[in-house]
């Protein structure tokens, strides 16, 4: 079961801010092939990191202002948040193993 939450302008701040968990936000679009290919990986990682990292996604076609706010220039773009502030980002489709290591490193530095 996917634990990747669809985010909109109202839910974004609550999702990314002021909680004890890291929040990973996937900026994507429905027409983007690499975005679609990344979703199963994010679904699996959301289960694996449940309770430690929250996973959400923002459709850049529906919310272009959010993409601009975080300087998203290409998709898929992954932005990792701690206490509402972006702490790391990646652009392009990444392997499950790479993302697992990236998230573990962020958790270790918490």
19-71 pLDDT per residue, tens: 778 999 999 999 999 999 999 999 999 999 999 999 999 999 999 999 999 99
- Domain extent at residue 47: 4-108
Q: How far apart are CA 74 and CA 44, in angstroms?
A: 23
Closest CA to 65 of 10, 19, 2: 10
What torsion do the CA atoms of 85, 87, 92, 94 make, to the nearest 10 degrees? -120
Q: Can 35 be counted among the known catalytic residues?
A: yes
Residue predicted with more confidence, 57 or 17: 57
* Catalytic position from the list 5, 29, 32, 106: 32
CATH number at residue 18: 3.40.30.10
Q: Helix or strand or coil: residue 60? A: coil
Domain total of the chain: 1
Query: Residue 109: what pLDDT?
Result: 85
Rounded percentage of the chain residues whose pLDDT exceeds 90: 80
Closest CA to 3 of 28, 26, 34, 30: 26
- Cα angle 63, 67, 70; round to 5: 140
* Catalytic position from the list 35, 45, 72, 75: 35
Using 50, 70 and 90 to split pLDDT, how confident is the model at 2? low
């Amino acid at each position: 079961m996917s634990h990747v939450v669809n985010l909109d302008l109202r839910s974004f701040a609550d999702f990314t801010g002021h909680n004890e968990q890291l929040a990973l936000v996937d900026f994507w679009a429905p027409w983007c092939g690499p975005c679609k290919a990344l979703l199963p990986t994010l679904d699996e990682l959301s289960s694996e990191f449940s309770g430690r990292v929250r996973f959400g996604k923002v459709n850049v076609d529906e919310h272009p202002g959010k993409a601009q706010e975080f300087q998203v220039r290409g998709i898929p773009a992954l932005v990792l948040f701690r206490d509402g502030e972006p702490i790391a980002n990646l652009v392009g489709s990444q392997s499950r193993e790479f993302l697992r290591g990236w998230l573990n490193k962020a958790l270790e530095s918490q």
